[in-house]
Amino acid sequence: MPQPLPRTLRAAASALAVSLIALTLGGCGFVPDGSTPAPAAASEADLGDDDGYIPDGESVSPNADDLPTIANLDLDLRTALQRAAADAAADGVEMFVTDGWRSERYQQLLLDNAIRNYLSEEEARKWVKTPEESTHVKGLAVDIGPTDADSWLSQHGNDYGLCQTYGNEMWHFELAVRPGETCPAPLSDASAG
């Protein structure tokens, strides 16, 4: 009668299986701790929720905490935004986020596209910052829509510490003052800051 496999041998066999799986994954460039940066995005088709990607013309609820574009925002900004959105809703104004946190490669793609569209890096930088400079990449900025929500937030945002940062972007808000303080005058455009 064949003996069952000794316990130690079975443990060794399963340990071998685990290391074989790890070896296979390692060969595919899979890094479980995410220390390898995602490859550059050639187009928006390469981007997904993990980049904070929101397609043009779409928006998400400020309360969509399951989406990285909201979840990766600075906690103070996210809390202020969600309070503001609740109060705006009580005033009959629905507030949406058209851009929140973005990955570095998403920001780089936006900059590349802007340089192509404006035919000049200088002009593009008035609208889109580099991944190193962007407050969206740092989780410190949100773009709000639609227009009536922008107007509501320009009027009441400072109650929550939220201020319009750039004169040419009525949709872009950052936590810039303590709640109730007056917002500083917006900079002319993103290249001025």
Minimum distance, C-beta of residue 111 to Zn ion, in the bound complex (Å): 13
Q: How many of the chain's residues bind Zn ion (CB under 5 A)? A: 2
* Residue placing its CB nearer to Zn ion in the complex, 88 or 141: 141
Minimum distance, C-beta of residue 79 to Zn ion, in the bound complex (Å): 19
Q: Which sign does the torsion angle of CA 47, 49, 52, 54 carry?
A: positive
CA–CA gap between residue 29 and residue 10 (Å, rounded): 29
172 makes contact with Zn ion (CB under 5 A): yes
Half-sphere exposure of 5 (CA within 13 A, CB side): 8
Minimum distance, C-beta of residue 142 to Zn ion, in the bound complex (Å): 7
Minimum distance, C-beta of residue 13 to Zn ion, in the bound complex (Å): 55
125 makes contact with Zn ion (CB under 5 A): no
Q: Which sign does the torsion angle of CA 104, 105, 106, 107 carry?
A: positive
Is residue 110 a contact partner of residue 128, using CB atoms and an 8 Å limit? Answer: yes
CA–CA gap between residue 128 and residue 113 (Å, rounded): 10
Stretch in the footprint of Zn ion (CB under 5 A) among 34-42, 88-96, 153-161, 171-179: 171-179
Tell which positions 133-162 bind Zn ion, by CB under 5 A.
Answer: 143
129 makes contact with Zn ion (CB under 5 A): no
Stretch in the footprint of Zn ion (CB under 5 A) among 15-23, 27-35, 170-178, 184-192: 170-178
Name which of 187, 167, 164, 190 is nearest 177 in CA terms: 164
Minimum distance, C-beta of residue 84 to Zn ion, in the bound complex (Å): 16
Task: Give helix 75-90 / helix 147-156 axis angle, nearest 10°.
Answer: 110
174 makes contact with Zn ion (CB under 5 A): no
Residues that bind Zn ion (CB under 5 A): 143, 172
